Structure 1
Amino acid sequence: MEPRHWPLYGLRLRTPRLELRLPGLELLDELAAVAADGLHAPDRMPFSVPWTDGPPEAVGRAVFQHVLGTVAAWSAQDWTLSLAVLHEGRVVGRQDLAAREFGVLRQVRTGSWLGLPHQGRGLGTEMRAAALHLAFAGLGARCAVSAAMTDNPRSLGVSHRLGYADDGVETGVVRGEPVTLRRLRLDRSRWEEFRRVDVSVEGLDDVRRAQFGV
């Protein structure tokens, strides 16, 4: 795709095993198919919004619409960068980086998922490390925040390996039941101390001011 009018399509994050980029329609269809094929066992819900409930075609369609919606709703004051994660040329998951009033607050939040066949191989840590590198090294973030269910050890493990510190708990409602989420926070000094993944960024200069407001 020629990113003439939306140069975010030219942004690339690369790690030793992964490439992250905003998906065009073909990659977005692959991303939707990964979600439709399953992200977790049906008897549990790792997400605070149970968007994976429903038949596979509805889950895939929800992913397709959501990512297109993040592009349509983008502003420098309120943005969500929803990146397809590719491993060996195939889409394996999604990594989000989002912020409101980033130019003032310099705070980002992250969210992600991997298809079931790609879990347990360290890819979740690597893709979040890429997003954090973009935030801190590329955009000048001061801190990053995240949250995970207290019974989601994989997500919490990724956060702790990357240097996040516990930041309290909160209660939400999922599938009509109360759930406890653990908040996590990573400031710049902790990110610098714990960074272990080599990350390169391409195409940031074309979008930094106009689309991120920094």
Structure 2
Amino acid sequence: MPADLWPLLDLRLTTSRLVLRCPTDDELAALADLAAAGVHNPGERPYLTPWTEGTPQQTAVHVVQQHRSRRGDWSPDSWALDLGLFCDDRPVGMVALRGREFPIRREVKTESWLGLAHHRQGLGTEARSALLHLAFAGLGAHSALTEVFQDNAGMQGVSRRLGYRHDGISRDVRDGQFLISDRLRLNRDDWFATDRMRVDITGLAPCLPSFGL
């Protein structure tokens, strides 16, 4: 698809180690293979998505289908920006920034996964920081939300380090059992009250109408 029809293809977020951007078809296939190789240790369930319950082929198909369906379902009133994470041009994971009725709500949600080989290197925090910079500095968001299982120590730690505060709970079902997730919120004033890592955004201006702005 040419960028003049889908300007989000030219959107780039760049940090000291990462580039966040829309993947090409070949890169999406590589990201799908990365997810199929594992996004968390066997026996863990840190996400509602049952990453380890299907076959590697089913996991890879899920990554491709989700990315393409989000692009196909995009509207200025309801969007999910699905970006690949690249470190030295190698795919290491994916992130998403989601908004609904954004010009009114001014609220976003984030989600992410990393290939298992790329855990515990600070890349998850760096990627989330880049998304939040886009949300607050680029799109003018007022708040960012995330929901984290109470037993997901890694994602809880990332959120707390970035300044999220407890904002209630959500009730979920995982493996047929009820469990509680913490709902965490980061407000615009708290984001800008702290020095943050540098993030360079390019290609945003032509994308603003896609976000309803």
Same fold (TM over 0.5): yes
Alignment partner, residue 182 of structure 1: 182
Shift of 1:48: 2.1
Structure 2 CA distance for aligned equivalents of residues 52 and 22 of structure 1: 25
Equivalent residues of 1:99, 1:109 under 8 A apart? yes
Alignment partner, residue 144 of structure 2: 144
Equivalent runs, 1:11-160 vs 2, <5 Å: 11-160=11-160
Task: For residues 152-189 of structure 1, give each alpha carbon's deviation from its aligned partner in whole angstroms, at most 9, with x where no partner exists.
Answer: 11101111111100112222101111122111000001
How many residue pairs match? The answer is: 213
The aligned amino acid for 2:212 is G
Identity %: 44
Alignment partner, residue 212 of structure 1: 211
Shift of 1:44: 1.5
5+ long unaligned stretches in structure 2: none
Structure 1 CA distance for aligned equivalents of residues 85 and 195 of structure 2: 19
Structure-2-length-normalised TM-score: 0.97
Structure 2 CA distance for aligned equivalents of residues 119 and 101 of structure 1: 33
Structure 1 CA distance for aligned equivalents of residues 98 and 12 of structure 2: 16
Alpha-carbon RMSD? 1.2
Structure-1-length-normalised TM-score: 0.96
The aligned amino acid for 1:155 is M
Equivalent residues of 2:39, 2:51 under 8 A apart? no
Q: Which moved more, 1:102-111 or 1:40-49?
A: 40-49
Structure 1 CA distance for aligned equivalents of residues 185 and 56 of structure 2: 33
Moved over 4 A (4+): none
5+ long unaligned stretches in structure 1: none
The aligned amino acid for 2:6 is W
